[in-house]
Structure 1
Amino acid sequence: MGRRLTRSFGSTPALRSLLVIVALAVGISLAALPRLERYFLLQAAAREEATLRLATESLRGALNRTDVLPRLLAERPILARILRDPDNQGLVPYANEQLRQTALTLNVADIWVMDGDGLTIAASNYRRDTSFVGRRFDYRPYFTDAMTEGRGRFHALGTTSGERGYYFAAPILDGTEIVGVVAVKILMDEFEATWRDSPNTIVVTDPSNVIFLSDRTDWHFNSLGPIPEPALDTIAATRQYPLDRLQLLQTERRALTQGHDLLTVTGGDGREEFVTSTGLIAAVGWRVSVLTPTGPALLQARQTMALIVLVFLFAGLVAVLFLQRRARLVERLDQQRQHREQLERRVAERTADLNSANAQLVQEIEERKTTEQRLRQTQTELVQAGKLAALGQMSAALSHEFNQPLAAVKAYAENAATFLDRGRPEDARKNVGLISQMADRMASISKHLRNFARRPQEKIGPIPLLAVLGDALDLMAPKLKAAKATVHYDPPAQEIMVMGGRVRLQQVLVNLLSNALDAMEMMDRPEIEIAILGDGTRWRVEMRDQGPGLTEDTLTHIFDPFFTTKSPGKGLGLGLSISYNIVRDFGGTLAARNHPEGGAVFIVDLAQAPDQQAVAAQ
């Protein structure tokens, strides 16, 4: 099969044309490789512009910060005094120590004071073996410039310390007379230490083309170009650099674009090639150059070139496969025409079966909807039946609550009639007022019973939690009183709006209160603790009884329908299941746990209403 496929490819004119196109595309891509390499080199140089700006600005900032220090130090009176009296053995040591402390504070390398002849009188490094005290620096330009122009700046290798640094100097005046010069030196090693963390090479060259700073220590004092003879004479006269270390690097430079060159350096490490980005620090005449190795950019260019070639090859292969498959497709079209009618018949048969299945599915969906409606209706009936059952359980206590006021009303009425007969209308009026109070009490009880017994609405919205809990406590008051129960409840000062339904939430709370009493039916003085807790987004009603608590098995099944721990005849086990579903419909949760000090705790967790000011009477 493989040999036939090869012969077929070799004999296909389209295949030969495609191979020619692919070969031509590869040739064009190889011819474009130099431009591609140049593009990636420029991209690499552009990415390092930020490194160049950072290096240039850090150097410029360090120089600018230190430039003002000599002028400020020259204003110290003690410096003029020691220059007037350099042999004062009490004053000079004090000045040395002051300069040392100042150097430490300002984080500079050295500070020293020279007289008009360049002789150092005091220095911050007076304790070191390489102390400047007693040494003459009149050959340094920073000294002569400070004496003649009022300001001196110079960079060089220290002749005493052997450390490269930048020098700043200012004249010391005594009145209007220049009596000496104060100089400050900063080291440049910290910049090179920072640059070594970069994959690039950073060099700083002075106007003489000498490399003064670089993270390549082997390049120090080398030159990227020829040093003019006058510059060599100046270097020798000022002892700026050691002449024996001045060497010319073998370099070759080609321009890539404005601001970027291709630099080739040949030395002890072999041949190295860089893309250069150069900036200028005009105040000191330095040029800062970032040398980016060309290896990664050239590798990226070649990888891109290889990828282009592979794409062309892949495209040619795909085209060949496409043409061959197209030929095979033409051969199969005839077979497909023969099978089309048979396929259409099968599709018609399958479509009939699918229509039948769809009709059956629609019927099942309608039946499911009907079942769900019946389930909701049944749940509503169970909720109403639960409330009526609760009213039945409270009937004895309610009867007692109604009988007491009625008996009192009758007694007050008889007393009022007697008082009227005796001509005591004020006492009769008081009895009539008491009769009105008894009537209000019975009306309040009747209102709570009417609200509790009515069918709840399905609507869910903001409801007042404290008012609902108060209604539930009022509704359960007769039963609580009959059981001699004490309710510990300290309501918050402000109303709390939560999401739910007023009547259904009242039923949940009544059910929990009733269960708490049932759990403590063997106690003489049952106690119920109610607490309301919240975090600003949700609110919890925690209701604790003093009963025996809940077993592990009870905690697992307590909210299951028809599960009850009560004795036969005292409950169907639907109350907590109904309450659980009611709270879940509100977007909340109903949970139970045992209290560490005994008894069970039931927690109703509800979401806070978006608008605390809204009151929905549901």
Structure 2
Amino acid sequence: MYRSVTLALCFVYLLVVGGVSYTQVVRAVKQEAEQKIQDVASRLEIQLDKYRTLPRVLVLHPAISELLANPVEDNVRSVNRLLSTYNQSLSSDAVYLMSREGVTLAASNWQQSDSFVGSNYGFRPYFQQAVNGDEGSYFALGTVSRKRGYYFSFPVRRDSDITGVLVVKVALSVIEEYNAEANAPFIVTDDHGAVFYSSHPEWNYTSLVALPNAVKAEIIHQRQYGTGSLLKLTDKTALQDVLIAESLTLEYKNKLRTYLIAEKTLPEVGWHLIVLTPIIKVYVLVTSILFGALVLFILVALLSMIWRRNNIAQRQLAAVNEQLEHRVEQRTAQLQETNTTLMDTIDIQRETEQRLKETQNELIQAGKLALLGEMSASINHELNQPLTAMLTYSETLKLMITRGKTEGIGETTDEIIALIRKMATMVAQYKLFARKSAGKIGPVLVADTLSASLSILETKISKMAAEVHIQPYDTTLLVLAEAVPLEQVLVNLLNNALQAQEAVSQPRIDISVTDKKANAVIAVKDCGQGFSEEQLQKVFEPFYTTKGKGLGLGLTISQRIMASFGGAIAATNHPQGGAVFTLILPIKQEPEV
């Protein structure tokens, strides 16, 4: 009787666990696939938006209109080079210019064997859209290059007439670079259901549903997918029936396989991104869960049987053990109380350590921001110069446009762009310096850190006409540290060295990097007044400063940062005058062969 009840309970238990686990596993697998496909869709939308408006800007170059008006060899050569420059700058697949008849007059790949020059693409929808005055976009397989690409086009106008079409072809690396699992294929279809990309190559240029004859004829006429067969993979007649289904059965390597579907629609381009997860994966996971549940049930049943036998024995010995159990309970309660108190103490200690670590990290970040505050005047001066130049160039550009002088507009615009990039580089340097560290110690190249630190202080060094002398050293030297905090320490020492020489007529900073077997030693020397003996004793104390400004935390923070690397920092006076700060850092050792 007991065994029959146990077997019945086991059957019901496994039935419930199997049903619940199947539902949960299916949901988890689909959510994982949807997350992957959402990531691809987001990056794909960003890439499309990046290139969408570029043709509208590129057609403004006067050489484009000049070639369409006068297609002589010199103009063709000039535009070929211009389009090649555009293509390299944009990291696109190709940029080319077509006449109103659809013939390619110039292209960025004009020197390649598969050049577009001379080819007629008048049958492509993107050309027809642009020649009718609209922005064009289209996805297709290249008729010459045989590469998939998305085409963006825009009409070239002369007065009110359309004289040609400029096209930018993008390879859409987001799709090509998607790392699909071997048993979880990734496919992309258009709104008709035609598959133009699949991680299983044999599904490329097929269709998930039966395509209407008119649609198939249009695709073939436009050569959108080359000579693809467009064979159907399913018996369904509407793409929507495929997308709303929970699973889909497809033939792969001469075997029918069932997959779970995760789909994301890109309405702007009419694409459907689909990830197919084999249903066998769900069955394997559910089987594993059922096996674990069965093992658990058996263990519980065994424990139950043992408990029943022990319970009988305990009843027989209850009278004898009652007093002993009472004493054990008392002792157990005492131990539990002691253990609880100990655990509370440990938790308090951990919380205190965490708070101390967070406070130290915030103190390091505050020191970095305080140093940036001291450098704010230099930053303002460094950004003010290009801003003033940009204002002058902008006023000149406006005057040239007003007077109708277009020959210098490109050059003036290039100057403005160069100034903007220069400002972006400046801001990026300070932004990188201000960021918080990742908190992970690893190999750091001393040469890169030293170069970045000097770049941040470049304006101040130039303003003071200070000479920075770096003794020759091994530029491949790696130390164990964190790049951002180590950079903060070097910037702080270099800034202190400059401040110590504000009254010196010829300021100079000497930097040396030496290899001491297990450690690297970085020394920064200035030509200032140096320290007194009392100052050397207090220089690393919090809130102690020899300057009339600042919080006096820079060297204290630097000392803590160096200690976190397993290194050290020291301050001394140079025999020839001036202060010397020395950093000692462990070297990244090469593993023994």
Note the C-alpha offset of 1:197. 6.9
Aligned partner of 1:237 among 221, 228, 232: 221
CA RMSD of aligned residues (A): 3.3
Note the C-alpha offset of 1:254. 13
Note the C-alpha offset of 1:190. 5.1
Aligned partner of 2:79 among 92, 95, 104: 95
Change (3 A) 1:534 1:162: closer
Is the contact made by 1:262 and 1:275 (CA closer than 8 Å) also made in structure 2? yes
What does residue 29 of structure 1 align with?
13
Aligned 1:90-489 pairs, distance under 5 A: 90-189=74-173, 191-196=175-180, 200-250=184-234, 261-268=246-253, 270-333=255-318
Q: Distance in 2 between matches of 1:256 and 1:95?
A: 49
Is the contact made by 1:256 and 1:262 (CA closer than 8 Å) also made in structure 2? no
Change (3 A) 1:209 1:175: same
- Tell me, what secondary structure is at the counterpart of 2:115? coil
- Tell me, what secondary structure is at the counterpart of 1:241? coil
Q: Distance in 2 between matches of 1:131 and 1:298?
A: 51
Q: Distance in 1 between matches of 2:194 and 2:243?
A: 23
What does residue 492 of structure 1 align with?
534
Counterpart amino acid of residue 330 in structure 1: R
Note the C-alpha offset of 1:171. 0.5
Change (3 A) 1:138 1:296: same
Note the C-alpha offset of 1:314. 1.9
Note the C-alpha offset of 1:330. 3.0
Is the contact made by 2:209 and 2:239 (CA closer than 8 Å) also made in structure 1? no
- Tell me, what secondary structure is at the counterpart of 2:155? strand
Change (3 A) 1:177 1:534: closer
Is the contact made by 2:210 and 2:235 (CA closer than 8 Å) also made in structure 1? no
Change (3 A) 1:197 1:324: closer
- Tell me, what secondary structure is at the counterpart of 1:316? helix
Change (3 A) 1:21 1:310: farther
- Pairing 1:536–2:541 present: yes
Q: Distance in 2 between matches of 1:83 and 1:146?
A: 15
Note the C-alpha offset of 1:492. 3.5
- Tell me, what secondary structure is at the counterpart of 1:240? coil
Note the C-alpha offset of 1:41. 1.1
Aligned 1:33-44 pairs, distance under 5 A: 33-44=18-29
Cα deviations by residue, 1:496-544 (Å, 9 ceiling, x for unpaired): xxxxxxxxxxxxxxxxxxxxxxxxxxxxxxxxxxx956742799xxxxx
Q: Distance in 2 between matches of 1:310 and 1:255?
A: 43
Is the contact made by 1:280 and 1:287 (CA closer than 8 Å) also made in structure 2? yes
Q: Distance in 2 between matches of 1:223 and 1:536?
A: 74
Counterpart amino acid of residue 312 in structure 1: F
- Tell me, what secondary structure is at the counterpart of 1:195? coil
Q: Distance in 2 between matches of 1:256 and 1:143?
A: 33
Is the contact made by 2:208 and 2:239 (CA closer than 8 Å) also made in structure 1? no
- Tell me, what secondary structure is at the counterpart of 1:245? coil
Note the C-alpha offset of 1:139. 0.6
Change (3 A) 1:197 1:319: closer
Counterpart amino acid of residue 181 in structure 1: V
Change (3 A) 1:315 1:90: same
Q: TM-score, normalised by structure 1?
A: 0.50
Note the C-alpha offset of 1:258. 9.8
Note the C-alpha offset of 1:163. 0.7
Change (3 A) 1:176 1:491: closer
Q: TM-score, normalised by structure 2?
A: 0.52
Counterpart amino acid of residue 281 in structure 1: L
Note the C-alpha offset of 1:229. 1.4
Is the contact made by 1:251 and 1:264 (CA closer than 8 Å) also made in structure 2? no
Q: Distance in 2 between matches of 1:282 and 1:334?
A: 79
Note the C-alpha offset of 1:161. 0.9
Cα deviations by residue, 1:2-40 (Å, 9 ceiling, x for unpaired): xxxxxxxxxxxxxx32x2332122222343324422320
Deviates most, 62-71 or 293-302 = 293-302
- Tell me, what secondary structure is at the counterpart of 2:132? helix
Q: Distance in 2 between matches of 1:309 and 1:254?
A: 42
Q: Distance in 1 between matches of 2:148 and 2:216?
A: 18
Note the C-alpha offset of 1:329. 2.5
For structure 2, the 5+ residue unaligned runs are 328-531, 545-593
Cα deviations by residue, 1:37-63 (Å, 9 ceiling, x for unpaired): 232011111123321211111111111
What does residue 457 of structure 2 align with?
none
Change (3 A) 1:255 1:20: farther
Q: Distance in 2 between matches of 1:537 and 1:135?
A: 74
Counterpart amino acid of residue 293 in structure 2: I
Is the contact made by 1:277 and 1:291 (CA closer than 8 Å) also made in structure 2? yes
- Pairing 1:45–2:26 present: no
Is the contact made by 1:26 and 1:312 (CA closer than 8 Å) also made in structure 2? yes
Is the contact made by 1:251 and 1:263 (CA closer than 8 Å) also made in structure 2? no
What does residue 72 of structure 1 align with?
57
What does residue 455 of structure 1 align with?
none
> Could you say which structure has the larger radius of gyration?
1
Note the C-alpha offset of 1:105. 0.8
Q: Distance in 1 between matches of 2:167 and 2:540?
A: 67
Deviates most, 30-39 or 256-265 = 256-265
Is the contact made by 2:14 and 2:293 (CA closer than 8 Å) also made in structure 1? no
Is the contact made by 1:195 and 1:201 (CA closer than 8 Å) also made in structure 2? no
- Pairing 1:62–2:47 present: yes
Note the C-alpha offset of 1:187. 1.1
Q: Distance in 2 between matches of 1:30 and 1:322?
A: 23
Deviates most, 94-103 or 45-54 = 45-54
Cα deviations by residue, 1:387-424 (Å, 9 ceiling, x for unpaired): xxxxxxxxxxxxxxxxxxxxxxxxxxxxxxxxxxxxxx
Q: Distance in 1 between matches of 2:319 and 2:115?
A: 104
What percent of counterpart residues are identical?
23
Q: Distance in 1 between matches of 2:79 and 2:241?
A: 56
Is the contact made by 1:100 and 1:111 (CA closer than 8 Å) also made in structure 2? yes
Counterpart amino acid of residue 209 in structure 1: G
Counterpart amino acid of residue 257 in structure 2: E
Q: Distance in 1 between matches of 2:242 and 2:6?
A: 33
Counterpart amino acid of residue 291 in structure 1: L
Note the C-alpha offset of 1:230. 1.5
- Tell me, what secondary structure is at the counterpart of 1:248? coil
Counterpart amino acid of residue 218 in structure 2: T
Is the contact made by 2:207 and 2:233 (CA closer than 8 Å) also made in structure 1? yes
Q: Distance in 2 between matches of 1:144 and 1:107?
A: 25
Q: Distance in 2 between matches of 1:232 and 1:534?
A: 81
Is the contact made by 1:52 and 1:290 (CA closer than 8 Å) also made in structure 2? yes
Aligned 1:550-569 pairs, distance under 5 A: none
- Tell me, what secondary structure is at the counterpart of 2:83? helix
Change (3 A) 1:279 1:50: same
Cα deviations by residue, 1:129-171 (Å, 9 ceiling, x for unpaired): 1111111111101011111141111111111111111111110
- Tell me, what secondary structure is at the counterpart of 1:142? helix
Note the C-alpha offset of 1:288. 1.1
